Amino acid sequence: EAGVTQSPTHLIKTRGQQATLRCSPISGHTSVYWYQQALGLGLQFLLWYDEGEERNRGNFPPRFSGRQFPNYSSELNVNALELEDSALYLCASSPRLGLGANVLTFGAGSRLTVL
Amino acid sequence: QKEVEQNSGPLSVPEGAIASLNCTYSDRGSQSFFWYRQYSGKSPELIMSIYSNGDKEDGRFTAQLNKASQYVSLLIRDSQPSDSATYLCAVKSTSGTYKYIFGTGTRLKVLA
């Protein structure tokens, strides 16, 4: 069974540009979570999508946005990039129902560098 | 106050010793608690989950939960150098927000 896949692995952008990161959940999983992990700051909750809808978002400005597609894959968009957006962006998926809904399986992450 | 707090460490223990990792959380509506391990340069992976007060054991790992004190801990018995990693405490609230929040992690070093 394929795990959570994220692309691209690495992305280099300059200030003011836009970045798009993509995530494919495990087959059968309907929930997708996005986290930002900046150096030394732990995982900061960004967004939670389930069944195509945004269910919750963390304390990030509106230039962080995303969507979930009918096949449950997701993309994270970061507009007007700032230097402090440089981080590892982790996507995780879980089933919607049952005990498995409590367990997140993470992808390998996309490392965004803003110059 | 942070929603989930952990001591950043590093926590250094000799090989074969018990490592004790602690976590406190602020949301009393939290129902589900997790410990994830993250090796350097890798993504987090689940070690343990616990949902009710008391202890839960799985091999060398024991999770402990005290909801009244809003406290979760992870004990690692017979620590091995391969246990050296950052341990992340995560809390899932079901009190309307359904947020899945992580602490900043405790870095564990097991010395051979």
Question: Do A106 and B34 count as a contact with CB atoms less than 8 A apart?
Answer: no
Instruction: Give the three-class secondary structure for A101.
Output: helix
The predicted pLDDT at position B1 comes to 64
The predicted pLDDT at position A16 comes to 97
Q: Which residues of B touch A42 (CB under 8 A)?
A: 88, 102-105
pLDDT tens digits for range B53-98: 999 999 999 999 999 999 999 999 999 999 999 999 999 876 656 6
The predicted pLDDT at position A40 comes to 74
* Any A CB within 8 A of B77 CB: no
The predicted pLDDT at position B95 comes to 61
Minimal Cα–Cα distance from A71 to chain B, Å?
22
Interface of A with B in 74-93 (CB under 8 A): 90
Question: Do B102 and A35 count as a contact with CB atoms less than 8 A apart?
Answer: yes
Structure tokens at A46: 């960004």
- Mark the ranges of chain A whose per-residue pLDDT is less than 70: 1, 97-100
Residue B25 pLDDT exceeds 90: yes
Minimal Cα–Cα distance from A45 to chain B, Å?
7
Question: Do B102 and A41 count as a contact with CB atoms less than 8 A apart?
Answer: no
* Any B CB within 8 A of A60 CB: no
The predicted pLDDT at position A39 comes to 83
pLDDT band at B27 (very low <50, low <70, confident <90, very high): confident
* Mean per-residue pLDDT over chain B, rounded: 92
